Chains A and B, each alone.
Chain A
Amino acid sequence: EAQVTQNPRYLITVTGKKLTVTCSQNMNHEYMSWYRQDPGLGLRQIYYSMNVEVTDKGDVPEGYKVSRKEKRNFPLILESPSPNQTSLYFCASSLGYDRDLSYSGTSIGEQYFGPGTRLTVT
């Protein structure tokens, strides 16, 4: 079954204790992304990756790190979590597109989302 998986699904932790949220997809997608969702603020992109070893900052990258060593995995790392990082986190993946062929009709926007990770930092 084509899917994006995230672990853990729920996490309560304390300020300053490093944590990693894993994300994995089995669709051979090029593009992967992390979002946080907060009431009244909607979905905001934290980091994204167009391919292996290529990562870029989204709109709210402060306090987060990512890596893309393999195509299927895109972990989100909080080196020193703070209470303002309490949120619902989603990982997503999509086919991506071929820059050399200009816009080929595929899109990074047709994303498949993971089930979400609810993080509470006390």
Chain B
Amino acid sequence: EDKVVQSPLSLVVHEGDTVTLNCSYEVTNFRSLLWYKQEKKAPTFLFMLTSSGIEKKSGRLSSILDKKELFSILNITATQTGDSAVYLCAVETNRDDKIIFGKGTRLHILP
């Protein structure tokens, strides 16, 4: 059965800290790995990763994929209270065009 596992499930840090969120997956016919941010509403797209070792970066957020070890990390440097959200990892499959989400990591940034 295809699955996506995120860790930790929740995390509390202080403003200015750097955090690393983890996502591991077991899927057949992997196509891409996706990261989303969900605040008090709908998820918004952050990154799509398809190749190992190539970092995607947007401001203080960055992500990288390891297709050999089947995981990805999302890094947030110099965290701000506005980074508080649930971060969702998902995998897109080639076999049947499904998208499978992990349960998310709830990140809370203390001022």
Contacts and interface: CB of A to CB of B under 8 A. Distances in A.
Contacts, number: 63
Contacts of B44: 113
Interface residues of A, number: 26
A28 B89 CA distance: 25
A110 B96 contact: no
A113 B48 contact: no
A113 B43 contact: yes
Nearest to B86: A42
Nearest to B42: A113
A108 interface: yes
Contacts of B97: 31, 48, 50, 56, 108
B67 interface: no
A58 B44 CA distance: 21
A42 B5 CA distance: 11
5 contacts: A90-B42, A103-B31, A107-B32, A108-B99, A111-B43
